[in-house]
Amino acid sequence: MKILILLISTLVVFIQRIPSLPICNLQTAKQAIPPRIFAEQTIDGSSQAIFLTRFLHNKAGILASELGRCYANVLDPNFLSQALTPLGLIFILYFIYQILAERKIIFAIIFAAVPLAAILNVPTAPIVIIYKLFAIIGLTFLLSKIE
């Protein structure tokens, strides 16, 4: 019975089409630096001290912010539900719960490293396939708990 549930759920998760991610990588993050610095300094106005303005609005901070946004695009629940179906999203949430509860460090590192692939211009398809595999692993974790 467990094998049948695993096979049917795997088919449901893997049949879903692969959605696209917005173009967001290291190059686009670097391109966003000058306009953001200009906009943020303009908002501060000329009455603020130049040292404070340059301290608060610097290239490293803006680059980190843009790369963080790119990283978060891959972990967006809407993107994951489009890629995995709502059923797959439940399984991947259970996978995350299990790796945190049982302190499976290797899985946690791999899961945290997958969004970095989007920043490095890896196409969306391999990223989605890896997430689908994580969802199937989450399902196997769930089925192993059921007696």
pTM > 0.75: yes
How does residue 1 score in pLDDT terms, banded at 50, 70 and 90? Answer: low
Which residue type does 91 have?
A: F
The tokens describing 13, both together, are 């998760």
Please check the confidence at residue 11 and state whether its pLDDT lies above 80: no
User: Which letter, b or e, does each residue of 44-74 get, where b requires 16 or more Cβ atoms within 10 Å of its Cβ?
Assistant: eeeeeeeeebeeebeeeebbeebbeebbebb
**What distance in Å separates the CA atoms of residue 51 and residue 63, rounded to the nearest whole number?**
19
Q: What is the mean pLDDT of residues 91-101?
A: 92
Q: What is the pLDDT of residue 94?
A: 93
Q: What is the pLDDT of residue 142?
A: 87
Report the chain's mean pLDDT, rounded to a whole number. Answer: 84
Torsion angle in degrees (nearest 10) through CA of 14, 111, 123, 18: 20
**Which of the pair, 31 or 51, is modelled with greater confidence?**
31
How does residue 39 score in pLDDT terms, banded at 50, 70 and 90? Answer: confident
**What distance in Å separates the CA atoms of residue 46 and residue 35, rounded to the nearest whole number?**
17
The tokens describing 10, both together, are 């795997």
